[in-house]
Amino acid sequence: MRLTVVLLAAACCWSCSTPPPPVEAPKDPTADAGYGKTVEQLQALTAQAEQLVKAGRPDDAGAVVQRAQGLQAKLLSAPRPTLAAMEAATDLDDLYGRMMLANKQYGWARDFFQKNAVRWKAWKPATEDTEKRRKVALDKVAECEKQMQ
């Protein structure tokens, strides 16, 4: 009898407790204005590094690329990055892959180009431009593999 009373009291207390607070849906980082600014910063750094490569200053370009990789990681950490972010990330990896290729670092170059190919294979909805970017990346992967033989 005593056990029944204790169980009934516990059940009564449990059923009267307040419900847990509602769980907020995670905020979409791509909706933040700072996300677009980060895309622009990544594009600017990639363009700067590209100019340094063209000017024959690959070491300086490498330093810029390394700074840009932090921005790239931030953009790609979003659950669904924007098309502009994916394009900026691809452009940076393409540049770095070409720099590795020029230094005969074929394995590293292939890794960068493979990342780009996978990005665009997974992108939905596929467009003519995304398919073109994927093909370019796959051609560069093949070029690296040819050089590795």
pLDDT in tens, 63-79: 999 999 999 999 999 99
Number of domains making up the chain: 1
pLDDT given at position 7: 55
Supply angle C-alpha 149, 131, 50, rounded to 5: 65
Range of the domain at 140: 32-148
In whole angstroms, give the CA distance from residue 28 to residue 32.
8
pLDDT digits (tens, 9 = 90+) for 126-146: 999 999 999 999 999 999 999
DSSP letter, residue 17: S
pLDDT tens string for the chain (149 positions)? 665 655 555 555 565 656 667 767 668 899 998 999 999 999 999 999 999 999 999 999 999 999 999 999 999 999 999 999 999 999 999 999 999 999 999 999 999 999 999 999 999 999 999 999 999 999 999 999 999 98
In whole angstroms, give the CA distance from residue 108 to residue 38.
26
pTM of the model: 0.81
Q: Does residue 100 sit within a domain?
A: yes
Reply yes or no: is the peptide bond before residue 125 cis, omega within 30 of 0. yes
Helix (H, G, I), strand (E, B) or coil at 90: helix
Contact between 48 and 64 under an 8 Å Cβ cutoff? The reply is yes
pLDDT given at position 6: 56
Q: Does residue 107 sit within a domain?
A: yes
